[in-house]
Amino acid sequence: MASFGIGAKLRQERVGKGLAIDDIARDTRISPRFLEAIETDDYSTLPGLLFARNFVRQYALTLQLDPDPLLAELPKQDESTVPLPNPPARARSSYYRDRQLRSLLSSIVWLLLLAGAAGLGAYAYKHLNYSLRAAAPQARSIDTPAGAPDLNSRPTKPAPATIEQTQTAVEQTKEAAPTTTPPARSAPASASTSATAGPVQVSVTASERAWVQVSVDGKTTFIGTLTPNETKDISAAEQVTVLTGNAGALTISLNGKTLESLGPRGHVREVRLTAEGPQFLSKDPPPAPDRL
């Protein structure tokens, strides 16, 4: 910018008043460097025409001068050819270094967020799985009434009773249940365990070991254990009574007709067989009382 003699007038007035550059800088809060540039008409040092006009105005008012004549010597804002100073250029390496640093920090933050989300998901899955497993037995106990069978459990086959257990159960059955066997009467000579002719013909076959007691017309004719595939034929004038401790192991036929199963394996059953058909006399005995 060309010199307009503004700086010389301001400097002459300042020196005449005995003031230093620092005094003017303190009152106007303008950098001494800019004040010296105005006094030397070095307007290229100033940040722009707008700042130059403002600095000159404040400088003149501090010296109690009319700023308008001085401002008239300066070009107006739209006629200014003084370029504004460019912002300091950042080093290219520093720009890329900052950019890489920001990218690295962003990646680290995303990794931490993903790790946190994965940890929360694993914890929630583990907690939910544990809660479901812990609640399953409780839900089953709530839905199933007391004493009701568990439909989810598989039925187990009863263990076959031993000969001693069967004999004990038979004795308890006889003591607990009233007998319906008619009074003993003398059997005719033809009633025996052989396959002789008679109104009542019974055949007992065992599929496995089973304790059996046979009574013919009120008289006990056999007590023992039948082995697998062993058959005993009985003939009676009126009735045949079969008592067993393993009902599911016996197959009984009456007058050539096979009867249905007496009951499950390991269960005590007693049946009376007559010409009219079978008649079940007893089921499982009641539990034995505790012996002190």
In a domain, 32, yes or no: yes
Domain count, the chain: 3
Q: At what angle do helices 32-39 and 21-28 cross, to 10 degrees?
A: 120
In a domain, 255, yes or no: yes
Pair (195, 266) in one structural domain: yes
In a domain, 97, yes or no: yes
Give residue 206's pLDDT: 94
Number of Cβ within 10 Å of residue 55's Cβ equals 20
Pair (209, 256) in one structural domain: yes
Give residue 207's pLDDT: 94
In a domain, 213, yes or no: yes
Q: Which residues of the chain have pLDDT under 50?
A: 1-3, 79-80, 82, 84-85, 87-88, 141, 179-196, 286, 288, 292
Pair (24, 97) in one structural domain: no
Residue whose pair of structure tokens reads 């809660």 in the numeric block: 131
Give residue 82's pLDDT: 47
In a domain, 287, yes or no: no
Number of Cβ within 10 Å of residue 289's Cβ equals 7
Contact 6, 35 (CB under 8 A): no
Two structure tokens written together for 197: 């002719």
In a domain, 238, yes or no: yes
Give residue 132's pLDDT: 78
Pair (10, 104) in one structural domain: no
Residue whose pair of structure tokens reads 């300042």 in the numeric block: 14
Pair (212, 235) in one structural domain: yes
Q: Dump pLDDT digits (tens) for 4-21.
A: 588 899 999 999 989 999
Pair (207, 260) in one structural domain: yes
Q: How far is CA 283 from CA 170, 246, 273, in A?
A: 10, 12, 16
Residue whose pair of structure tokens reads 């540039």 in the numeric block: 37
Pair (53, 96) in one structural domain: no
Give residue 214's pLDDT: 94
In a domain, 292, yes or no: no
CATH of the domain at 26: 1.10.260.40
State the Cα–Cα distance between residues 179 and 174, nearest whole angstrom: 7
Q: pTM of the full predicted structure?
A: 0.33
> Domain of 205?
163-177+189-282
Give residue 129's pLDDT: 80
The size of the chain, in residues, is 292
Two structure tokens written together for 163: 């000969």
Pair (235, 271) in one structural domain: yes
In a domain, 220, yes or no: yes
Pair (74, 104) in one structural domain: no
Contact 289, 172 (CB under 8 A): no
